[in-house]
Structure 1
Amino acid sequence: MFEATKVGRSVSKQDYKEQQEELRTQLLEAQRELRHTPIPVIVLVSGVEAAGKGEVVNRLNEWLDTRGVQTFAFWNESDEERERPRYWRFWRAMPPRGEIAILFGGWYQTPIEYRFHGQCSDAELDAELNRIVDFEQMLIQDGALIVKFWFHLSESDQKARLKELSRDDRSRWKMLPEKSRFSEHYAAFEEVAERVIRHTDRGCSPWYLVEASDRRYRDLTVGKTLLHAIRSRLAEHGAHEASGIPNDPDLPESDSAQITLLDQLDLTRALPREDYKTELKRLQTELNELAWRAYNKQRSTVLVFEGVDAGGKGGAIRRITQAVDARLYRSIPVAAPTDEEKAHHYLWRFWRHIPRAGRMTIYDRSWYGRVLVERVEGFASPSEWRRAYSEINQFEEQLVDSGIILVKFWLQISQDEQLRRFRERESVPYKRYKITAEDWRNREKWPLYKKAVNEMIARTSTRHASWTLVEGNDKPFARIKVLRTVCDALNEALEGAPVPAAGYLPCGDKRIEQAVAKPVKTGGD
C-alpha cells in the first residue's frame, strides 16, 4: 500500500513559490464560499513519526483564514476526558457548519497505539474500526466533509529526518510531549497502519496517502487535495440547491406502529396516598445513599425523561432531585436548539452534558426529539429521522460501554387526563406558565405522536438501554415507579463487576502504559 509514497517526488523552490501563491488564493476563496453553507469540514492528520504533520498543519493555518479554522491535538487525556466516553473529546472538537477543524490523529490515534503496543488483537481492532466507520458515516450523512491525510516516509528517510530533528533543540518534534517511539519498530507500525487504512478507506471518507520526504511536494499536495475536496463538496451542495429536489425521497411510513405498546399500559393503576408517603421517604433515602455510592465508585448516571405533554416528567424529576445532593447532579431541560446547536450535528448538544465520573445528568427531554417532535412536525427530513434510530443506539451503546448507568423513561397518560391537566394549568396562576398554544396544537396530533412513540420504543429499547414505560394518570404511582426503577438500576450496577474507566476502548481493558511497551509482531496476532 505504501509503495507509492516512497518514490521520491519533489518540487523545486521556484515551482513551489509560483504554485503556493495561486493555491493560497484559491483556498481562501473556497473557504469564504464554505462559510455560507451548512458544511463542516473535518481534516484528520496522521502518519509516521517525523513526517512533518505539525509543519503541514502550520502551513494550512498560514494559507487559510484562521478565524474559520480550529486545530486540536489529542495528547494526554485530561481528567475530564478520562471520566467520560472516549468520543466525548472528539465531539467537543466538531466544527460548526461552514468552518474547518484540523485534528491531529483524531479517533485513529488510540486504536493504532493499542494495536502497536499489543494491547488488543486484530479482531478487537477491527471492531473499533467498524465503530469509526459508522461514526464517520453519521457525520457525513449530516453534511460534513471529512478529509483524511496519512503522511508516510520510507524507513531510511525517516531515520535521516529524525537525526536532523534531534540535532535541533528548538525543533517542534523535540518539544512534543511524551513522544511514542514508533520509529524503532518501523515495520510493525507500518503493518498496523496499513490495516487501519484499508479498513476505513471508504468512498465517502477516503484516505489520502501523501509522500512526505520532500516538504514542498508534501505541503502543495495537501493544499491541492483539500482544495479539490472542498470544491467538489461545494459543487454537490450547489447542485442540490439549484435543483430544488430534496436530498431524500419522502417514503411512505410503515404501518407497523398501528397496534402500539402504549395501548397495553394499564392507566388505571394508582397508589393510596399513605402508601405513597411511606414509599417516597424510603426510596428517596435509598437514592441519596446510592448517589453517594456511585460517586465514590466513580460511576456516572444518565436519566432520560420523555413523555406526552403534561405527563408528569417535571414532578418525577423533582422527586429525584429532592433526594440527591445538588453537587452530584445536573438537570438539563431540552428546548428548541439554539443557533450554535443547529450549527452542529443534533447529538452534539447532548454529548456536551455527559456527566463526569460519579455524577448524574437528568435530561428533561432528549435526543429522542429527532424521532418524535422533529419527525411529526417536519423539522427533520424522513432520511434524517429514519437513520437517527441507529445513531441513537450507537450513542447509547457508547455511554453504557464506558460504564455509565443509563435509565430511560416514557411517561404516558390518557387523552382525557391530559385535557384535565391542561385546563388545570390554565386555571391555576402558578401553573399557567406550563401551558402554551403549542401544547394544544400537539394534542391535535395525538395519533401521529402515538405512532412515532411506538416505533421509537420498538427500535431503541435495546439490551444495553431498555425503556421503562410509566403509567402516569396517577401521579403518586408514576413517581414511585420512577424512583424504584432508578434505585434498582443503581443497586444492580453498583453491586456488579467493575467496569472499565470511561476512556477505555472497547477493544482493551487497560490504557497504554507510558513505559516502553512491546510492539505487535508482524505477520498476525
Structure 2
Amino acid sequence: MFESAELGQKIDDATFSKEVVKLRDALLQAQYELLEKKSFALVVLVNGVEGAGKGDAVNVLNAWLDPRHVKSHTFGAPTEDEAQRPHMWRFWQALPPKGEIGILFNNWYTDPISCRLRGDIDAGELATDIEQIRQMERMLIDEQSPVLKLWFHLSKKAQGKRLETLEKNKLTAWRVTEEDWKTHKQYDRLRKVSERVLRETSTGEAPWIVIDGSDDNYRSVTVGRAVLNSLRRGLEQADAVERAKRRHAKTTNGKAKGVMAPLVQTVDTTRILTDLPFKERLSKEKYATKIEEVQGRLNKLSRSRHMRDHSVVVVFEGMDAAGKGGAIRRVTQALDARYYGVIPIAAPTDEEKAHPYLWRFWRHIPRRRQFVIYDRSWYGRVLVERVEGFAEEAAWTRAYTEINEFEEELVEAGIVIVKLWLAITKEEQLKRFKSREKTPFKQYKITPDDWRNRKRWDDYTEAASDMIDRTSTSSAPWTVIEANDKQLARVKVIETICDRLEASF
C-alpha cells in the first residue's frame, strides 16, 4: 500500500512556484464558498510516520487558507478529564461546525496503531477499534462532515536519513527525540500494523491518500490538491442535494407535509406501550414509605466504591405531561448535587445544527462517578423529527443504527445507561393538560405545541414503539413504566435505576 509513496516523487522549485499561485487562489475561493454556504464541514485527519513532514504540511495549509476558519487540534496522551470518558469523547469536542475546516493531528488512528505496536492490544482488539473508527467516519459523512485522510510516508531508509539530517542541524535538532529513534527501530512492525489499519479503513467515501513526504514541494502541493478536491467535491454534492430537495418540494407541492413516513413492520409494535397495567395505584401512605426506601437505596449505590469505574446516563422519554420532570426531581433528591447534572433537551441551537446530530449529546457525557440525566435525548431524531418531518427519512432510519452504536460505545467505556419511557393513556394526558391550564403555577407547562402534538398521538405512539423495538439492546435496554399514577411511576423509576446499577456492579 505504501510502494507508490516510496518512488521519490519531486517537484522542482520553478514548477512549484507556478503551481502554488494557482493552487492558493483556488483553495481560498473554495474555502470562502464553503464559508458562505455552510453546507458541510471538512474534517482533515493527519497521520503518518515520523519525519515525513506532517507538521510542515499543517503549517502550509494554515498559510494557504484563511486561518480564521481552520481549526487545528493536536492530540497527545489523554488528560485526566479525557481519560475519565469514552475514548472518542475528546475527538467529538474538536469537530468543526459547518462552513469550517478542522485539522486533527494525532487523531483516532494514533492510539490503536501505537497500542498494537507496543503489544498493549491484540489483533482482535485492534479489529474492534477499526470497526469503531469505520462507524464514526460513516456517521460523520452521513451528517455532512466529509473526512479527508492523509498519511505521510517515508521509506525506512529515507526516515533514518531525515532524522539524521534534522538532528545534525542545531536549528532543527529539537524536532528529533529518543522516542523518534525508538519508533524508527520498530519501522517494519509499524509499517505492517499501519498497512492493515489503512487497508481496512480506506473506504469509497473516505479513502486514504498516502503522500510521499521525502520532497517538501511535492508534499505541499499534493496536500493542497487533496484539500481542494475535497472542498470542490463536497460543494458539488451539497449543491446536488439542494437541487434534489427543491425538485422534491416542487413535485409534492406540500402535499406530504405532516405525513409521517412509516417503517415496514411484520408485527404490531404499539402493544409495547398500550398493554400496560395503567390502573395500578400506590396509596399516599405506601408511597411515603416506599419513596424513602428507594431513594436511600439509590443514594447508597451512588456512593459505592464501584462507581470509581462507572458513570451513569439516565434517559427520560415519554409523551407530553407523562411526569418526566417530577420523576427526575425524585431521582436527584437522592443524589449528591456535586455528582449529577440534568440536561433538558429542546430544539437544537444554531451551533448544534452546525455539527453532527450526536455532537450536542456527546458534549455532556459524564466522567466517572458522575450521573447525567437527559430530559429528552438523542431519541428525538426518531420521535419528533420523524413525526413532524424535521429529519429526512434517510436520516431518521439510519439513526437507529447510529444510536445503538453510540450507546454500545458508552457501555464499553463503563457507562451505565438507563432508558426510561413513561407511558400514560390519552385520557390521562387530557386530564393533566386541563389541570395545568387551571393551575396558575403550572400554566407555563402547557403550550399550543402540546395540544398540536396531542392530535398526532397515534403517530407518536407508533414512532415510540418502533424506537423501543429497534434500540432496546441487552447492554442498554428500555424500561417502559406505566405512569398514569405519578407516585407509582416515581418509585418504579428509581427502582429501575437501582436495578441497573446493581447489575452493572
Same fold (TM over 0.5): yes
- Output the amino acid matched with 2:308: K
Unaligned segments of structure 1, at least 5 residues: 495-525
SS at match of 1:72: strand
1:152: Cα distance to partner? 0.6
Q: Distance in 1 between matches of 2:268 and 2:226?
A: 51
Residue 198 of structure 2 aligns to a residue whose secondary structure is helix
Q: 8 Å contact 2:39–2:235 — kept in the other structure?
A: no
Cα deviation for residue 177 of structure 1 reads 11
Structure 1 counterpart of 2:431? 420
Structure 2 counterpart of 1:11, one-letter code: I
Q: Deviations over 1:427-461 (max 9, x none)?
A: 10111111000000000000000000110000000
Task: Show the counterpart of 1:518.
Answer: none
> In the alignment, which residue of structure 1 is the partner of 2:32?
32
Provide Cα deviations, 1:281-302, integer angstroms capped at 9, x if missing partner. 1111221222122686242111
Q: Distance in 2 between matches of 1:134 and 1:181?
A: 32
Structure 1 residues 253 and 286, CA, compared in 2 at 3 Å: closer, same or farther?
A: closer
Match of 2:185 in 1: 184
Deviations 1:333-361 (A, max 9, x none): 00000000000111000000001111110
Where does residue 194 of structure 2 map in the other structure? Answer: 193
Identity of matched residues, %: 47
Q: What residue in structure 2 maps to residue 404 of structure 1? A: 415
Query: What corresponds to 1:474 in structure 2?
Result: 485
Task: Tell me the amino acid that sits aligned with residue 52 of structure 2.
Answer: A
Distance in 2 between residues matched to 1:271 and 1:170, nearest whole Å: 78
Q: Is the 8 A contact 1:54 1:172 kept in 2?
A: no
Residues 377 and 487 of structure 1: is their aligned pair in 2 closer, same or farther, counting only changes over 3 Å?
same
Is 2:26 aligned against 1:7? Answer: no
The within-5 A match list for 1:488-499 is 488-494=499-505
Aligned: 1:361 with 2:372? yes
Instruction: Give how far 1:89 is off.
Output: 0.6
| Cα separation, 1, equivalents of 2:39 and 2:173 | 35
Alignment partner, residue 89 of structure 1: 90
TM-fit CA distance, 1:16: 1.3
CA drift at 1:318: 0.3
Decide whether aligned partners of structure 1 residues 178 and 369 sit closer, same or farther in structure 2, where only a CA change above 3 A counts: farther
Shift of 1:175: 7.3
2:60 maps to 59
Kindly tell me: are residues 395 and 246 of structure 1, through their superposed partners in 2, closer, same or farther at Cα, counting changes over 3 Å?
farther
Distance (whole Å) between structure 2 residues aligned to residue 405 and residue 294 of structure 1: 15
Kept after mapping to 2: 8 A contact 1:333/1:364: yes
The CA distance in 1 between the partners of 2:31 and 2:69, in whole Å, is 8
Verify the 8 A CA contact 2:269 2:466 in the aligned structure 1. Answer: no
1:425 CA drift (Å) = 0.5
Residues 389-448 of structure 1: CA distance to partner in whole angstroms, max 9, x if unpaired? Answer: 000000000110000111000000011110010000011011111100000000000000
Provide the residue aligned with 1:299 in structure 2: 310
Q: Give distance in 2, aligned partners of 1:95 and 1:371.
A: 25
1:264-296 CA deviation, whole Å, 9 max, x = no partner?
Answer: 111111111111100111111221222122686
Q: Which residue number in structure 1 is paired with residue 354 of structure 2?
A: 343
Does 1:234 find its partner at 2:245?
no
- Compare 235-244 and 206-215 and name the one that shifted more: 235-244
**Residue 257 to residue 455, structure 1, CA distance change in 2 (3 Å):** farther
In the TM superposition, residue 168 of structure 1 has moved relative to its aligned partner by 4.0
Paired with 2:170 and 2:474, the residues of 1 have a C-alpha distance of 54
Mapping 1:29-428, distance limit 5 Å: 29-35=29-35, 36-168=37-169, 170-171=171-172, 174=175, 181-243=182-244, 244-245=246-247, 253-256=263-266, 258-260=268-270, 261-293=272-304, 297-428=308-439
Gaps of 5+ in 2: none
Question: What is the CA–CA distance in structure 2 between the aligned matches of 1:176 and 1:464, rounded to whole Å?
Answer: 44
CA distance in 2, matches of 1:154, 1:382: 48
Q: Alpha-carbon deviation of 1:60?
A: 0.3
Does residue 454 of the first structure (1) align with residue 465 of the second (2)? yes
- 1:78-122 CA distances to partner (integer Å, 9 max, x unpaired)? 111100000101110111011100011311111101111122222
Does 2:18 correspond to 1:18?
yes
Distance 1:329 1:213, change over 3 A: same
Change (3 A) 1:169 1:325: farther
Gap change, CA 1:180 and 1:105, over 3 Å in 2 = farther
**Equivalents in 1 of 2:3, 2:400: separation in Å?**
42
Q: Residue in 1 aligned with 2:496?
A: 485
Distance 1:291 1:179, change over 3 A: farther
Q: Which piece of structure 1 moves more, 124-133 or 275-284?
A: 124-133
Q: Helix, strand or coil: the match of 1:226?
A: helix
8 Å Cα contact 1:295-1:359 kept in structure 2: no
Letter of the 1:109 counterpart: T
Letter of the aligned partner of 2:156 in structure 1?
A: E
1:181 to partner: Cα distance = 3.1
Name the count of aligned residue pairs: 493
Note if contact 1:294-1:358 (Cα within 8 Å) is conserved in structure 2.
Answer: no
User: How far off is 1:172 after superposition?
Assistant: 8.4
The aligned amino acid for 2:24 is R
In structure 2, how many angstroms separate the alpha carbons of the residues matched to 1:258 and 1:28? 54
Distance 1:377 1:153 in 2: 53
Cα drift, residue 492 of structure 1: 2.6
- CA 1:294–1:379 in structure 2 vs 1: closer, same or farther (change >3 Å)? farther
Report deviation, 1:485: 1.1
Q: Which amino acid aligns with 1:315?
A: G
- Aligned CA-pair RMSD: 1.9
What SS class does the counterpart of residue 305 from structure 1 fall into?
strand
> SS of the counterpart of 1:107?
coil
Alpha-carbon distance in 1 for matches of 2:185, 2:391: 51
User: Which of 439, 451, 457 is the matching residue for 1:440?
Assistant: 451
Q: Is the 1:90–1:106 Cα contact (8 Å) retained in structure 2?
A: yes
- Note the alpha carbon deviations across 1:448-481, whole angstroms, 9 max, x for none: 0000011000000001000011000001100000
Q: Which has the higher helix share?
A: 2
Letter in 2 for 1:124: E
Letter in 2 for 1:417: E
Query: Residues 147 and 207 of structure 1 are in contact (CA less than 8 Å); yes or no, is this contact kept in structure 2?
Result: yes
The superposition leaves residues 120-161 of structure 1 with CA deviations (integer Å, 9 ceiling, x where unpaired) of: 222321222112111111111111111101111111110011
Q: Distance in 1 between matches of 2:268 and 2:178?
A: 59
- Between the aligned partners of 2:18 and 2:477, the Cα distance in structure 1 is 61
Higher mean displacement: 472-481 or 230-239: 230-239
If asked which structure has higher relative contact order (CA below 8 Å, sep 6+), I would say 1
SS at structure 1 position matched to 2:186: helix
* CA contact 2:50–2:180 (8 Å) conserved in 1: no
